[in-house]
Amino acid sequence: MELLMSGYSEEDLRCATQGFDKSCLLGAGSFGQVYKGTMKDGTEVAIKVLQVPEEGGFEDEVRVLSRFRHPNLVILMGFARHAATGWRSLIYEFCAGGDAAQRISRSRHRKELFGGRERLSAALDAACGLSHLHNMTPRAFHRDIKSQNILLDKNGTAKMADFGLACLSSASQHKVHRVGGTVGYACPEYLRTGLITEGAEVYSFGMVLLELLTGVPPAICRPGGKSGEYNYLVDWLQGSSEKVQQMLDQTASFAPRTAEAMSELAFRCTRLPSTERPLFKQLVEELRNLLSTLAEVGRPTEVVSTPVVAASPPSSELTQAFAKGTAVEAPFRGGPLWFQGWVVNHKQNGIAVVRYNDGQEEDVPFTSLRGAPGTSFVAPTPTPVTEKGPPSSPPSLPPTLIADAGNGLPRTVDPEPRTQATWCLQLLKTLRGTFREDGNSTSLFCSGRVTSKRNMEADSGLLSRVTCPGWCFRILSCTVCFLVGWVICSCELWA
């Protein structure tokens, strides 16, 4: 192994990482940690410290990366032995752009844009690196293709990384003694038989394409379920490009044709049986043609690489249209679903603070807002609109697939809030029912809504009881009914 690449001393690594200080820690896994280091000559590197070298795939990774050299494969610069502990370290080139999963998450949280062209380019780069592995003799099987293992350098070039599970074979398929991979990405046939093929690797790449499109990981822990129970993205999509369009990550601003072509390609990668899937060299050709098409038609909407927060202040028209207290609809966390709320504050650079009807608040650009049904103005429609049907009818998606971009955990989709006219009608009906039921004694009011006696136990934290004589209640009810009728008529006139 010493003949294959350069060795580093443990002291070199300690100096590069300030004694493996926590400030240099990039991440940690089940087999060790990854640190950022600066060598004596100023070269920035990533140092993977394997505390269990045998299980961490130390020899396999050295064997594969010392044999294969390609611009889209991370460069392994050397290794080191830790004499006191028996640990091993692998020294790689440092990719300052992070991994694709981090970039998707940051984009969904509007911290750093990861646009459609960038995602397509990253997919092409990854496919090039994997095609190189599968068209050499002997060929290499990566066995853990996922977005976390696609790294981007400072120039945006993507490189395949983490070859701890990789294996070499002169045949087109290889039987492994221990199945490895990541839930959701790993091919079901490979998990069942232990037979790794190029088709099994293509399946994993197809799941990466779907993740780049939707921003949703391919497997999400089932809420309230047992450990190891997951909901799978592919089961929900069922090969439907329309469902992919509904779930598109809005922060990527994919053009419809580009998203459709990528989704069709992803579904071809996940076909059963595996013999019907394209090879990596075919994927490279199709992705390259798709990227070239974007270059020929110019710089479309999806490739805007400016910061998500607008640099210029909002126009006076937008400021007036979305004044404080205005009822609006906004894409929750930049996702495919729109929810109703109202503007509670304005910030600089064209940002509005929106409070949704369930109480959650979020900073949303003015350009991503639209007027809620029943408002007296027509707000500008945001550019990335993918859902079909009326604006107040968001796509019907299972709650377990609407994932929080920060941690991949599912969140519950709130029911569609009531419009102003609907609320007034319900108020009138409830008051009328309360008068008939309670006679001259009592009416029950809830903070922000009206309820009945039978709901009192469920809403005990919000209810307050108001008791008054019968004649007082009749006068109050008549007055409220008159006001409610006036509001309903006004709503109809505004509509």
**Spatial distance between the Cα atoms of 100 and 235, rounded to a whole number of angstroms:** 23
Residue 384: both structure tokens together: 């990335």
How many beta carbons lie within 10 A of that of residue 354, not counting itself? 25
Task: Please say if 144 is a catalytic residue.
Answer: yes
* 248 conformational bin, left if phi > 0, alpha if psi -120 to 50, beta if neither: beta
**Spatial distance between the Cα atoms of 224 and 207, rounded to a whole number of angstroms:** 25
Residue 106: both structure tokens together: 């940051």
H or E stretch covering 47: strand 44-50
Going by their DSSP bridges, the two strands 76-81 and 7-8 should be labelled as parallel
The DSSP symbol for 7 reads E
Closest among 425, 480, 434 to 455, alpha carbons compared: 434
Residue 477: both structure tokens together: 């009810």
Hunting for tokens 């060299």 — which residue is that?
Answer: 281
**Spatial distance between the Cα atoms of 437 and 452, rounded to a whole number of angstroms:** 9
CB 377 within 8 A of CB 321: yes
Closest among 89, 85, 87 to 39, alpha carbons compared: 89
Hunting for tokens 């990366």 — which residue is that?
Answer: 65
Tell me which of 125, 144, 162, 249 is the catalytic residue: 144
Within 179-251, strands assigned E span 195-197, 219-221, 230-232
Single-letter amino acid, residue 215: G
Catalytic positions are 144
